[in-house]
Amino acid sequence: MHEVDLMQSTLQTVARVAEQNSLGRVSCIGLRVGVLSGVVPEALQFAFEVLRSGTVAADAKLQIEIVPARFWCENCQVEFELAQFEFECARCGWPMVLRGGGTALELAFVEGENTVAQHNPANAGQFGKSSGPAAGRLT
Q: Which pLDDT score, from 0 to 100, does residue 121 have?
A: 42
Instruction: Classify residue 94 by its DSSP letter.
Output: P
Q: Where are the domains of the chain?
A: 2-67+104-137
Query: 41, exposed or middle or buried, with CB in 10 Å at 0-12, 13-18, 19+?
Result: middle
The answer to whether the pTM exceeds 0.85 is: no
pLDDT digits (tens, 9 = 90+) for 49-68: 999 999 999 999 999 999 98
Say yes or no to pLDDT of 102 above 50: yes
Instruction: Sort 98 into a burial class: Cβ within 10 Å, 0-12 / 13-18 / 19+.
Output: middle
Tell me the pLDDT of the chain averaged across its residues: 83
What CATH number belongs to 2-67+104-137?
A: 3.30.2320.50
According to the model, what pLDDT value does residue 116 have? 65
- Distance between CA atoms of 65 and 59, rounded to whole angstroms? 20
What's the confidence (pLDDT) of residue 82? Answer: 78
